[in-house]
Structure 1
């Protein structure tokens, strides 16, 4: 059945190139797009990365990010040839002609043969260092209530990014005692926390030993002792 479905997708399927700007708007601290000046400078010979989505949907992947060699440019629209072999998109193959908008580009690999050097990418801070955070914050159910920064954990085997030392607890006002004492949490990029709740961003460079509790009447974070051992029931 799967093989027959793939054949049908290869014969009759199509694809769309996803607009990445709504994704960047929802995840501004982890999903970065080229600047407007960079997009306008893309020309034949450059490599650009796009998000391809299969129609019908792939059973393996929501979408595939693949490189395209730009061959022609006309205003806001570009044409190129696919420079990757899709993993699960039989209706598309390496070398196929692709037409797309400049706004579809998520990454650029500038050609070394460019007559004009590419514009300098704007400086930006990235937020890939890790932290521990309650899952209710990550999934958007609750906001950050308490955060503190302790000595970072030692690197683990295979870690690409270090521990920041930051720890985040969610709004406890509606939690049961069981939920409070046995939280569901994740060890994840600090940018993921910012995507969900960036109200604490001005505190991000606070030193180890810092701790803050949100005043729910004002929304402001107030300094406090690093560990809370009691809770109003």
Structure 2
């Protein structure tokens, strides 16, 4: 039987496709990683697994080069078929780093500042799957949040392109209650309007790719 194996995934394509919900350390932070720091990497198993084909795990850095680093696995995998165990030697490249826990945070570069978009909104499913662009947005009094929700309802309601859809197609559209950032990942044409007040309504003009306020 061949021993189970893994590869380390490059997170940069994921970050490029999910700019508003998936954030990597800055280039300065990644360049500063050194001996003793903990870094999180994405392990993808190349054998048939029982539950987890991919795991994100911490590695303690032991040796550093310009681009190549060596460390030891700092936590036990959850996947039962994994041959990995705490203390195993892991060789990786800097671009594989998902996040960092500094051994000496007082000397670490300042973290990159960015806005997060985890507030929820209602959006047509066709926007999320990329089959239609955003056309009409409005912001109402938030009323979707339930007790225990981690993130509040933003009040934004987002419709996919309406002009080319029949009444039956519009009625058949399914709404999804998701993070605003998930919508922006698909279509951020309305980003400049994100802080518009409750009661705002905008329709997209596709000829100019601008939004006109509705009164």
TM class, shorter-length: over 0.9
Match of 1:90 in 2: 82
Q: 1-side partners of 2:68 and 2:127: how far apart?
A: 39
- How far does residue 72 in structure 1 lie from its aligned partner after superposition? 1.0
Q: 2-side partners of 1:100 and 1:159: how far apart?
A: 37
Map of 1:1-233 to 2, 5 A cutoff? 8=1, 11-88=2-79, 89-112=81-104, 117-153=107-143, 155-225=145-215
SS at match of 2:113: coil
SS at match of 2:42: strand
SS at match of 1:103: helix
Q: 1-side partners of 2:50 and 2:124: how far apart?
A: 31
SS at match of 1:12: coil
Q: 1-side partners of 2:49 and 2:10: how far apart?
A: 18
- Which blocks of at least 5 consecutive residues in structure 2 are unaligned? none
Q: 2-side partners of 1:62 and 1:194: how far apart?
A: 28
Q: 2-side partners of 1:59 and 1:140: how far apart?
A: 32
Q: Deviations over 1:29-67 (max 9, x none)?
A: 111000011001111111110111000243423411111
SS at match of 1:72: strand
- Which blocks of at least 5 consecutive residues in structure 1 are unaligned? 1-7, 226-233
Q: 2-side partners of 1:15 and 1:125: how far apart?
A: 34
Q: Deviations over 1:180-219 (max 9, x none)?
A: 1242011111000000001111111111110100112222
- How far does residue 91 in structure 1 lie from its aligned partner after superposition? 2.3
Q: 1-side partners of 2:64 and 2:84: how far apart?
A: 22
Q: 2-side partners of 1:205 and 1:104: how far apart?
A: 34
Q: Deviations over 1:214-233 (max 9, x none)?
A: 112222111014xxxxxxxx
State the Cα RMSD in Å: 1.6
Q: Is the 8 A contact 2:126 2:173 kept in 1?
A: no
Q: Deviations over 1:60-108 (max 9, x none)?
A: 2341111111111111111111112112252212221101111100100
